Chains A and B, each alone.
Chain A
Amino acid sequence: MTKESAQPLLVIDDVHASVEGKEILKGVSLTINAGEIHAVMGPNGSGKSTLSFCLMGHPKYVLTSGRMLHNGQEMTGLTPDERAKQGIFLAFQYPTAIPGVTISNFLRAALRGVRGGDVPIKEFRQAVKTQLKALGIPESFMNRYVNDGFSGGEKKRLEILQMAILNPSLAVLDETDSGLDIDALKTVAAGINALRSPERGMLIITHYQRLLDYIKPDQVHVMFDGRIVKSGGPELALELESKGYEGFRPAVEPVGATETR
């Protein structure tokens, strides 16, 4: 098992959340310690992405009950940028294009935001150069506009590049494997593995287990209809692969889980 620290990195405690009045998360609980990688797997519509947006503080996603604690601190009420400053990072499933804004300007502004002050240009260039090389991205990439006209693989690489530069304590990776061919998947997985560290926790959200062939999680959680229905070790991902999600559908609706709140 991974080391126990006094304070878990992330505690999600019976979280209920809705989007535009519709409840999507119906009581999710999860604890991640520093150094751990957790995977959340589930079929489409099970609430995986909602969980990631809730963690990042998307204004459309409303936490209706429960708590989320990052390093023991309540996250509710924090804006997305305040969460980023506290070390939370979300790699988007569908990163947004910002036409006219170069990656270079964007990354500098992000680093300035996260650190709360200017970053010496020399240090910035050096950090970028190292990471670009590691991710197999040409330097000309920095002059392109953020996600504008990018292929799926380019978008995901840019997400990992940002994660590497911003150096978060908790990284949530939302379907980072989707839309990638096998070579791109390997590069991205290597990028993620390189960022494994005893100080960092990761929550990998995925539909398929193939990313987990490359990134070995400490724990796997199966999500179904807004709840975690089973948790276990890495072997759970393989079980999912053979049985499919149907095998994890609760036979009967858990008592009291229907709309009683």
Chain B
Amino acid sequence: MGNGLDPSTIDAITRRLKEPAWLGDSRRQALARHHQLPWPHPSDDIWRRTDVRLLDPAQGFSTVAPPLLERMPLQHAQLERFTQPLGNEHLVVRANGAWIHEPQLPGMVVRELADAVERDPQLQQALAADGLSQAEQKLTTLNSAFHHDDVALRIPPGTSVDRPVRLVRIMSAAPQQALFPLTIITVGAGSTVILIDEYVSLVDPSQSEPTHLINGRINLVLEPHANVHYVRLQRWDPAGREFLLQRATVAEGASLTVANLALGASVSKAHFMTRLTGPNASTKLYGFVFGHGAQHVDQHTLQDHQAPHTSSDLEFRAALQDQSRMIYTGLIRIAQAAQHTEAFQANHNLLLSQRARAETIPMLEILADDVQCKHAASTSPIDEEQAFYLRSRGLSRQAAERLIVMGFVESVVQRIPYAPLQQQLREDIEGGLTH
């Protein structure tokens, strides 16, 4: 078997998913486009610190969709924490492209992409490449060509969803498997919802090097005056390598709060793009990375102000232990038309070991003249005065550091509007601290 980066794999996927012809065509076009595009050049600031070959499925990965979960020797306990609700949330669980907890959400529609597009042809636009750099297209066309676990979630206009919706996607990954999850979320005009979008990869523990690749895409569309809290929880297995393109479009008067939490993967290159397309659109963007082992996390954000009277406030944080490495590049782009705009960006890195490293690069591209724009960045080890204060109260060095780290994390955890998840995250992060 070849590497699977060819039209015959696409034919197999479309047959298996019983997709309409147009979707197969769109996949084949994406693959052709992928082959035309160059790989990102090392002179590109947004890409130079990550070896993109690590994200190339042509380097010995299989793009054939994984078999159903039942064929994997998974422990019940492995699954349990993802298949049980944390509290009163609406829980929807999907494993290897099959529903485990069927979506039964009042007022909401969750479908597979082909089915969803048939009813709403506009959804196809979610796959469009407009506004993406060639480098981003090079990677995201792979998702467009091979996506095999699609979820399209639509919240009709004027809906207020009473409880948080937690969508868990579990994917089993054989060694050298490439996975292509695709998520399209549309929130109708004036609707309100809290969405938790959780991604997990599980490997066969008997495999010694279960390296796998995940090329994901998330599209979030807020129609006018929608109000959305969106939490993305990345829990890939430590042997996973990730590329993610997450793009949110926020229309007039809509408000989006995002928390992106990255806990897993060995290599992660993630682009978080937010377009404010209508007047008075606003967004708050939070990010947290817990770096451990030899993890390499490279995140890029774009706060794209296209309309006047828009605001964005971004705060990304990373706590890095062992020899983990964090790269953050953040671009604020303000179009000429986007007068009276406010954009803030902050990136804070806490180094928990002498071998951990962080780089942060803010970028501004401002074409309007009546705007407020600020950025801040810091990279530092544990503050010795804080440590001394805590130790003077009887906390050991280790206990003091833990408390300081958990305080550092808290400013992002606090933004998640669902207490049971906050608590789970605190425990997960504290449990992962090696000190």
User: Could you list which residues of chain A lie within 8 angstroms of chain B, going by C-beta atoms?
Assistant: 56-60, 79-81, 83-85, 89-90, 92, 95-101, 105-106, 109-115, 145, 162, 166
Contacts and interface: CB of A to CB of B under 8 A. Distances in A.
Contact of A100 (B392, B399, B411): B411
B389 interface: yes
19 contacts: A81-B391, A81-B396, A81-B400, A85-B394, A90-B392, A96-B385, A97-B386, A98-B386, A99-B408, A100-B406, A100-B410, A101-B407, A109-B390, A109-B395, A109-B403, A110-B393, A110-B395, A113-B399, A114-B393
Given A59-B384, A96-B386, A113 B393 contact: yes
Given A58-B388, A59-B384, A106-B403, A100 B408 contact: yes
B407 A145 contact: yes
Nearest to B398: A81
B384 to A, nearest CB: 7
Contacts of B400: 81
Contact of B394 (A57, A59, A92, A113): A113
Contacts of B393: 81, 84, 106, 109-110, 113-114, 162, 166
Given A100-B409, A110-B395, A113-B399, A95 B388 contact: no
B394 A99 contact: no
Contact of B389 (A59, A85, A92, A105): A92
A96 B390 CA distance: 9
B161 interface: no
B404 interface: yes
Interface residues of B, number: 25
A60 B383 CA distance: 13
A87 B410 CA distance: 31
A101 B396 contact: no
A89 B389 CA distance: 11
B404 to A, nearest CB: 7
B397 interface: yes
B403 A80 contact: no
Nearest to B384: A59
Contacts of B389: 92, 95-96, 98
Given A92-B389, A98-B403, A98-B404, A113 B395 contact: yes
Given A59-B384, A96-B385, A96-B386, A101 B391 contact: no
B12 to A, nearest CB: 49
Interface of B: 383-386, 388-397, 399-400, 403-404, 406-411, 414
Contacts of A81: 391-397, 400
Closest 7 CB pairs of A and B: A113-B394, A100-B407, A100-B410, A114-B394, A110-B393, A84-B394, A101-B407
B362 to A, nearest CB: 22
A84 B403 contact: no
Most central of B386, B389, B396 by chain A CB within 10 Å: B389
A81 B408 CA distance: 22
Contacts of B403: 98, 101, 105-106, 109
A113 B407 contact: no
Given A80-B391, A90-B392, A109-B393, 5 more contacts: A79-B397, A84-B392, A96-B389, A110-B390, A114-B393
A94 B396 CA distance: 21
Nearest to A86: B394
Contacts of B411: 99-100
A110 B386 contact: no
B195 to A, nearest CB: 25
B395 A101 contact: no
A97 B383 CA distance: 11
Contacts of A89: 392
